[in-house]
Structure 1
Amino acid sequence: MRHATTLLSCVGLAALVPGWVPGWPVAPARAQEPVHLIVKDHHFVPDHIDVPAGQRFLISLTNQDDTTDEFESYDLKFEKIVVPGGTITVHAGPLHPETYKFFDDYHPDQATGTVTATQGP
C-alpha cells in the first residue's frame, strides 16, 4: 500500500510540474530578481552585467531616451521594442560561462553592452 501511495504522489506531482519525471528531485521555487538597466542618451547604464552561469535570469530595461529603442541580442536570443519612458523585461539563460553582447538595434554604434556568465566559487 505504501508503494501505491508513493506512486500516486509521483503521478500527481508529475501532473502539477510540467517536464518533471518521477525520481528526479524537485527544485524549490525561487523568486527571480531582474537585473535593472536603463538606456539614456543612446547608452546602456550599466553597460556590463554579471550573471551566474547555468541559471535563467531577467533583464528589466527602462528607456529614458525620447525615441523608441530596440533591445536586442543575437547571442542571448531576444529582441524587444521599448518606447520612450517604457520598461520591458526579457528572459535569458541559462548560459555557459562566457561573455554575450546586446545592443540597441536603432543605435547599434552607440548603445552596446555585455552580459558575462560566471561559474560560482
Structure 2
Amino acid sequence: MGAIICAASLVTYTSVSAEEAYTLTIKDHRFEPAQLSIKAETPVTLIVKNLDASPEEFESKPLRIEKIIPANSEANFTIRALKAGRYKFVGEFHEDSAKGELIAE
C-alpha cells in the first residue's frame, strides 16, 4: 500500500514540474518564427537552434538572457512564468535582421 501511494505521488510531482518547450531557429541571421506565442504564467523551455555558419548572441533585456550560441549548435533556456505581454529579443551580432519577440498569452 505504501509503495502505491509513493508511486502516485511521484507521478503527480513529475506532471506538475513538466515544462512546455518552444523552438526558435536562427537561419540567414533571422529568427524563425520572428514572433513566438507561449503560455503566460507558466515556466517554459526555449530552445534556440543556430543553423548559421557563424555564432549569434541571443539577447533579451526583458527576459534577462544574454548568451552566445556557436555556429550549428543550440542553447536551452528556462523562461520564468511571464505575465501576458510582449518580450523582445535580438541576435546582437546581426541586430538589423535578427529580431523577434515572445508573446505570452
Shorter-chain-normalised TM-score: which range? 0.7 to 0.9
**Corresponding position: 1:111 with 2:91:** no
Structure with the bigger percentage of helix = 2
Measure the CA separation in 1 of the matches of 2:25 and 2:70. Answer: 12
Larger-gyration structure (1/2): 1
**Corresponding position: 1:78 with 2:62:** no
Q: CA deviation at 1:51?
A: 1.2
Structure with the bigger percentage of strand = 2
Percentage of pairs with the same residue? 30
The alignment partner of 2:20 has SS state of: coil
Structure 2 unaligned blocks of 5 or more: 1-12
Q: What are the Cα deviations for residues 16-72 of structure 1, in whole angstroms up to 9, with x where unaligned?
A: xxxxxxxxxx89524223201110000001111111111111110111111110111
Selected match of 1:35 from 19, 22, 29:
22
Letter in 1 for 2:47: S
Structure 1 unaligned blocks of 5 or more: 1-25
Q: How many residues are matched?
A: 93
Taking structure 2 as the reference length, the TM-score comes to: 0.81
Q: Which has the higher contact order (CA 8 A, sep 6+)?
A: 2
Distance 1:38 1:27, change over 3 A: closer
